[in-house]
Structure 1
């Protein structure tokens, strides 16, 4: 099993290209099931989750091609994938496929909308919380689908098609909004989605669906109105930049010191997080096509944060920010309101010398003068990269085990950090 070894102490200098957003690419790929024409997606990151979803969709009979590399492209830049769902031969997604990635459950929406039936395994447990699919099922039922749960599978039928309806989510749900949005595009009539997720990835999905012929208004706000159409066509769409990757590398620069330009990204996608970084003593300067991150000479200042749905502080940056706060002057409070059990990285950070106290949904992080390298174990995707950030400044050598978590969400992590001066390498096997 691969490991990552880091020798801490090197500040970061240079530039890092930001990849396409995994959390946008996955629903965009799933949306290709809504049409029998080809959907071409550019700027798709090279990640394990992307490969897993391609295997799942191939099981349905979806054809896909990955374009060859072009001049100037490297393993650190995105790829172009063409998906054609013309000859779908199966609308069942078995457990052994869905269990590898929770987002694959969302295939139930386009399968129901286009074919009138779908059988998709319940996705099972999750290391950072239960993440129930009840709101996703509720949305489909509101659109007229008959839903049964049998033997661990969600079985949906809509032999006469889905019908437009009003969907009021009791709480903000990104997955539920994705599912409702895709299903409503082919529903008969008008669908109003209230308390919709406002995340940029939702707006990116809507933008692609509009290119395919969907009629959608209000994406990116808390109320989305979809007027169903009889069919969707093909389109070409580039995946938006990964705001979580942007924030992760920004925090790595803030942690180590140095001066790095994050290229091919958009600061407005994570403005709240960048504002928090500025409060911690980091200079954040928008550039043409990116953002420059530079830590001033006053050290890291403690800042309190609470995770919230967009446009608030992202839960997917909580672990990375906690790593940063381990070296801050003073004590910070980090409150997690999105997922239960998302403090699994605390004990591993403690192995490096971090001083963190947990109290319910809050972590109190007392900054220390230094961290010391040690073997640590990754527990999930975001926890894994928080250990990388801590290891970049830890005295001595840090070895991170279970790095397959990182491969799910960070494209060419070691190469991007190494090009800026980090002493980091992957140990194979």
Structure 2
């Protein structure tokens, strides 16, 4: 894989096994570009425009390649822009694609579900193959399908997938999500902007990437407003044009490198990171014992002079502590002096990665049904779990297998902090969300070899 619009080579992208020799602090600079959770959705939004769109600061990651191939199989012409890291997306030749074509290009990605609204407007039909994704629990698409039905779509479940049609077009709807799902909110936005009439969405997700997608759609000619208490109104319009947009920085990657500095007792300048979108994380980082300096160009993260301190964290939808942030933080908490508790309330199986950390010497106990605590602020959910981490515990090298994107990153930084050598298998999965990951590790002083 090369950077979009360049021919600069990177570390082997077919690498799937690395051996890490721990004990080396990570120091230096990493650049973060556009968030994968915005860039991929903005690429889908290009289907709604009558003219080409330009997306800037697109990360060179596997998920972007998947969306690009899905757009191309639907007839969208995708080319590198003049600026490195930019894409031009021209939907003039958009067409239908078969189940088999979509399935072949989607792989384990769940992004095809978000093509439905734009394709129903453009072609009157859409197809969804069986959907995959990270093994972190169920991600039902019922929220999506229920919303599409309310817009007037006909949903036909078939052995090979789901066929949707809208013979009479789509109309505005009143929708209240049972949970502020990011994906379902994106679905409603991408569908409502060209539906006839007004759509009212209640209990919507309000993550920064959602706000950035609203900005993209407004540039295209959409009329979208939002009110307190997670209410969004969308007035449908007949036509939209292409956009020119620079992606919001990737908050998840920025947090990952911040935790790497904390875990390895290093110092990393994350160029492109911004304070506003990271307020919640920065508070927790400081409570744990991390330190940071903020400039207009980015944020420098390091461990403070005193020992790390235990914390209680509850994952939640924005503006809460993101579920994608807890895995690398838990690695750092294994080195805190005392007992930390992490309540996972978003996904039902996202603490399974801790088994490998225990194998490496961590003292972590997972409570599969969560823990009641009078100090908690996030309402309990049936699917929640909790991890109790006692520290500090020395970590030692081990043979570990990457389970999912964020858990896999946590394993890597655990191996970097451990004594001895760790063999990490499945490293290729990290290319889904981390641009030039091995190159960045090498530049920060990590000691590892690609062995398979």
1:44 maps to 2:58:
yes
Does the 8 A contact of 1:200 with 1:269 survive in 2?
A: yes
Sort the Cα spacing of 1:368 and 1:401 in 2 relative to 1 into closer, same or farther, 3 A.
same
Tell me what 1:422 maps to: 446
**CA–CA separation in structure 2 for the residues paired with 1:375 and 1:408:** 22
User: What is the CA distance between 1:20 and its match in structure 2?
Assistant: 1.3
Count of aligned positions: 420
Does the 8 A contact of 1:198 with 1:219 survive in 2?
A: no
List structure 1 runs of 4+ shifted beyond 4 angstroms.
none
The farther-off stretch of 378-387 and 80-89 is 80-89
The residue correspondences of 1:155-234 to structure 2 (distance < 5 A) are 155-218=163-226, 222-234=230-242
Tell me what 1:404 maps to: 428
Tell me what 1:9 maps to: 23
CA deviation digits over 1:177-223, x for unaligned, max 9?
00100100101111111111011111111111111111111289711
Tell me what 2:413 maps to: 389
**CA–CA separation in structure 1 for the residues paired with 2:291 and 2:223:** 41
CA deviation digits over 1:258-312, x for unaligned, max 9?
3322111212212111111100001123211311212112121111111100111
**CA–CA separation in structure 2 for the residues paired with 1:43 and 1:220:** 30
Does the 8 A contact of 1:198 with 1:221 survive in 2?
A: no
Tell me what 2:293 maps to: 285
What TM-score do the two structures reach when normalised by structure 1?
A: 0.94
Tell me what 1:86 maps to: 92
Does the 8 A contact of 2:361 with 2:393 survive in 1?
A: no
Sort the Cα spacing of 1:176 and 1:201 in 2 relative to 1 into closer, same or farther, 3 A.
same
User: What is the CA distance between 1:114 and its match in structure 2?
Assistant: 2.6
The farther-off stretch of 147-156 and 316-325 is 147-156
User: What is the CA distance between 1:320 and its match in structure 2?
Assistant: 0.9
Does the 8 A contact of 1:7 with 1:398 survive in 2?
A: yes
Give the superposed CA RMSD. Answer: 1.8
1:235 maps to 2:235:
no
The farther-off stretch of 186-195 and 105-114 is 105-114
The secondary structure found in structure 2 opposite 1:392 is: helix
Does the 8 A contact of 2:181 with 2:205 survive in 1?
A: yes
The farther-off stretch of 124-133 and 242-251 is 124-133
**CA–CA separation in structure 2 for the residues paired with 1:369 and 1:149:** 50
Sort the Cα spacing of 1:126 and 1:9 in 2 relative to 1 into closer, same or farther, 3 A.
closer
What TM-score do the two structures reach when normalised by structure 2?
A: 0.89
1:98 maps to 2:112:
no
Does the 8 A contact of 2:108 with 2:132 survive in 1?
A: no
1:29 maps to 2:16:
no
In structure 1, runs of 5+ residues without a counterpart are 71-78
Does the 8 A contact of 2:314 with 2:342 survive in 1?
A: yes
The residue correspondences of 1:53-68 to structure 2 (distance < 5 A) are 53-67=67-81
Tell me what 1:254 maps to: 262
User: What is the CA distance between 1:353 and its match in structure 2?
Assistant: 1.1
**CA–CA separation in structure 1 for the residues paired with 2:180 and 2:351:** 21
The farther-off stretch of 394-403 and 2-11 is 2-11
1:364 maps to 2:388:
yes
Sort the Cα spacing of 1:316 and 1:328 in 2 relative to 1 into closer, same or farther, 3 A.
same
